[in-house]
Amino acid sequence: MPVNSKEHDACKKSLLAVKDALDVISSKWKLQIIFAIWAGNKRFKDIERQIGGISPRMLSKELKDLEEHKLIVRKVYDTQPVTIEYTATPHAETLKELVDKLRTWGIKHRKAVFGK
Amino acid sequence: MPVNSKEHDACKKSLLAVKDALDVISSKWKLQIIFAIWAGNKRFKDIERQIGGISPRMLSKELKDLEEHKLIVRKVYDTQPVTIEYTATPHAETLKELVDKLRTWGIKHRKAVFGK
């Protein structure tokens, strides 16, 4: 069956969007970091402590990644010594609904598979 | 701040449900296999051809996994030679909405990050 190339392009674009979402959602740390920030942890050390088990190097990398994804903002305050604070963006809020959907499906799925 | 242990249990259960969903959704092959079956491919060889790049051994493993997850059903027909067909379960249908949510968020996210 010949494939309509316009349809194929739309399909590929659609898969790419799903992949984009999964890159953020299924990373081992990204969601945990955003949750830690939502919980009120603004400083590097506080986020590190809240998560536990993440190396400073990995946390640093993931924070940079999340900043590039426009999910968090890094603010530098001109104090002595300098204060650095991380906050979640309004765009990050849109993740809440998505995580909620995943959770709901996960619960339903567990019931379907294990009956409880 | 002391943590309410009931709340903590609920939080852990909730995270587990998200993880369950991600195990299915973010696997390299599982969604692709379900989509191939939805597209009308019932036989092993047809699914393999539709996906491309998956080894028979991996496809075999993933099909077994999906069966355990009650997302597909494997039927053996008593023909000569034996015919084996895979179909998606009604439970698998519930994935469609979830994937749709991921796609919508991915598109929104791409706009937020790249402005297009």
Report residue B4's pLDDT band, with 50, 70 and 90 as the boundaries. low
Nearest-angstrom CA–CA distance, A72 and B116: 20
Determine the residue of chain A that is closest to B21 in CA distance: A106
In this predicted model, what pLDDT tens digit does every residue of B35-57 receive, in sequence order? 999 999 999 999 999 998 999 99
Average pLDDT, integer, range B106-110:
91
Determine the residue of chain A that is closest to B11 in CA distance: A103
Q: In chain B, which residues have their Cβ closer than 8 Å to the Cβ of A12?
A: none
Q: Most A CBs within 10 Å: which of B14, B25, B72, as the mutation test of the A interface? A: B25
Q: What is the mean pLDDT of chain A?
A: 89
Report residue A39's pLDDT band, with 50, 70 and 90 as the boundaries. very high
- Angle at which helix A30-38 crosses helix A56-68, to 10 degrees, equals 80
Q: Most B CBs within 10 Å: which of A20, A41, A71, as the mutation test of the B interface? A: A20
- Determine contact, residues A73/A90, Cβ cutoff 8 Å: no
Chain A to chain B Cβ contacts (< 8 Å): 90
Binary contact (B68, A112; C-beta < 8 A): no
Binary contact (B18, A102; C-beta < 8 A): yes
Candidates B6, B63, B101, B87; CA nearest to A95 is B101
Nearest-angstrom CA–CA distance, B20 and A106: 5
CATH topology of domain B29-114: Arc Repressor Mutant, subunit A (1.10.10)
* Nearest CB to A98 within list B16, B95, B102: B102
Determine the residue of chain A that is closest to B22 in CA distance: A26
What distance in Å separates residue B68's CA from the closest CA in chain A? Answer: 8
**Burial (CB count <10 Å: 0-12, 13-18, 19+), residue B102:** buried
> Lowest mean pLDDT: which of A45-59, B6-20, B22-36, B43-57?
B6-20
Q: Is the pTM of this model over 0.95?
A: no
Q: Give residue B61's pLDDT.
A: 97
| Strand ranges for B1-116 from DSSP E | 72-77, 83-88
Tracing tokens 């536990």 back to the chain, one arrives at: A52
CATH number corresponding to A5-114: 1.10.10.10
> Lowest mean pLDDT: which of A11-15, A45-49, A57-61?
A11-15
Binary contact (A16, B94; C-beta < 8 A): no
Q: What does residue A54 show for φ and ψ, rounded to 5 degrees? A: -100, 135
- Determine contact, residues A35/A24, Cβ cutoff 8 Å: no
How do the domains of chain A map onto residue ranges?
5-114
Q: Residue B9 pLDDT > 80, yes or no? A: no
* Residue predicted with more confidence, A88 or A21: A88
Nearest-angstrom CA–CA distance, A93 and A34: 10
Complex-level ipTM: 0.82
